[in-house]
Structure formats: structure tokens, C-alpha cells
Homo-oligomer: A and B are copies of this chain.
Amino acid sequence: MALYERVALIGLGLIASSMAHAIRAAGLATEITGHARSAETRAAAVEIGLCDRVFETAAEAVAGADLVVLAVPVGAMGAIAAEIAPHLAPGATVTDVGSVKQAVITAVAPHVPEGVHFIPGHPLAGTEHSGPRSGFATLFRNRWWLLTPLEGADPAAVARLRALCEGMGANVEEMDAAHHDLVLAVTSHTPHLIAYTMVGVADHLRRVTQSEIIRYSAAGFRDFTRIAASDPTMWRDVFLTNKEATLDILGRFTEELFALQRAIRLGDGDHLFEYFTRTRAIRRGIIEAGQDTAAPDFGRAAEAGKGTEKG
């Protein structure tokens, strides 16, 4: 059942193209229009029939749409909002999929005209691939989609957007934007920065060759490289815009790391053992919450197509 007449996707990368497939598959919209910055991406979208119509400007794409989805890097949201604002239909909903919420609200909200509903959102789903050809209909299935409505948001507009996310298979939760940014700093942003750093260190070494690192990369490191392979623009914007929470968590991280480093230096095995025992519990919790599995097929076939959810 169509929830929206016309959904306009601004930005046609991994998230937007997955939304296009998912919306189509579930018949959630009558028409999908799209816009991306580059002629190349627009041509790819036309070639694979991602949208019903692809436009050269965001302004054209949003005209007459009752749902507009901003699916560009966080740092680009403000300029897009300014550009489309005069062309938004009265009563339309504008949402976004950015990985940071407070900064998007600061950048976008001032441009949204009276009578248009702005409901920020963030799907906790992704892979390390990007671009219009990387999307697939099941990306959001059983993943969280966090909505961070502003105070006084229209309940009917929120409910309709929530139904769209659920229609794509996601579990929807509402929370405050500041809290969102802190939670994501812990569960996603700081881990990504750390993974990037470790991969960077490996890249710099003299006494160990690149080819040795690549050959002998055990899974700990392989997981890091997968994480660190993500889109540089997206992650630059995440760290520039979720600065405070990331620096806060990073500060705690280095503090704990120094304590472990000191335990290693002093040969304090008890400290290490206790620490490593404690961290097991959180893993068990994640398995119990159904976010992952302990099934012992042991990761050969299993590892084949592993994606990484991020943002």
C-alpha cells in the first residue's frame, strides 16, 4: 500500500538506492524521483531504472513530492536544504538519513518552510560500498531506524514516516538528537576512527611489508580494514559534525588504553585478565539481543559477504 504519492531521493548512493529498491519491493510509494550531484551517478541511476524520473537539480526532484529524503553526506545537507526549500510542497515531509543528528538539525531546520514537516532520521544499516549500484532492497531488514523528531513534531507525519521505515523492514525507535549522537559515538563513530587509525599504522611500518600485513592479517585486523574501507567523505563529515561526543568517547578510550598499556608494561596479568573477562559479558548481551549470532559455522562461507552497518 502506497504511503506516499511521490518520494524524492536527494543523493543516490548506498542508502538512497537501497531505499528505492525497498520502497519499490513493498509498494510503499506511487512514484520515486531522484537527484544526484554528478551526471555520472544520475546516468547510472537511469541505466538501472532506480527511480521513475531522475532530475538534474534537487529543486526539480522535490517539486510535488510528499516525502523528500536527504541522503547526501552530513556536511552537504545544509546547502541542499537551502536549495530545495522554495520548491517544497506544503504539507510535505522532509527527512534525512545522516549518521549525525544534531548537526543536521542545525543545518537543515532553519531552511524548512512553515507547513513542511522536518523529521530527522538515521538507519543503522550499511555496507562499506557506496554509490547508486550498491543498494539492495533488504539492507534495512531487521535493522534499527532511529527517528529524532523535533519538539512539537506532527504526530501524524511522524507515524507515516515510521510506517515507511517499517515497510522497508526496519525497527523504528524515537530518541532525542543529542542522545542519538552520543550513542552513535560509542557504538559506531569512535570504533570507526580506531579502525582507521590501526589500518593507518599498519600502512606506515617499515619492518613489516605491506604484503606481509595483507597475507597474515588475522580476523581482528581484517575486521578493521573492512570498517576502514568506508567512504572517506561520509566519515570526514561524521567526525567534523559529531565532534564533541566523539572527542568525549575518544578521551575515555585513550584513558583505558593507557591503563592496559601500563598493565602490559608492568606485567600485571591480573589486571589484563579481569579486563578481558569483563568485556565478554557485553558480547553475550549482544548475542542475546539478536544483533549477532554465536553459531559456530566458524566463518569460512559465513565471512563471504559480510557487510558492515555503520553511520
Contacts and interface: CB of A to CB of B under 8 A. Distances in A.
A106 interface: no
11 contacts: A127-B299, A129-B294, A179-B208, A196-B275, A201-B249, A219-B227, A222-B291, A229-B280, A229-B283, A237-B269, A240-B264
B265 A243 contact: yes
Contacts of A127: 296, 298-299
A118 interface: no
A247 B194 CA distance: 17
Interface stretch (A23-31, A147-155, A300-308): A300-308
A282 B228 CA distance: 9
Copies held by the complex: 2
A3 interface: no
Contact of A311 (B183, B218, B297): B218
A166 interface: no
Contact of A198 (B194, B218, B308): B194
Contacts of A235: 272, 276
A202 B236 contact: no
A5 interface: no
Interface of A: 75, 124, 126-129, 134, 136, 138-139, 141-142, 144, 146, 179, 182-184, 186-188, 190-205, 207-208, 210-230, 232-233, 235-237, 239-240, 243, 246-247, 249-250, 252-254, 256-257, 260-261, 264-265, 267, 269, 272-273, 275-286, 289, 291-311
A200 B256 CA distance: 8
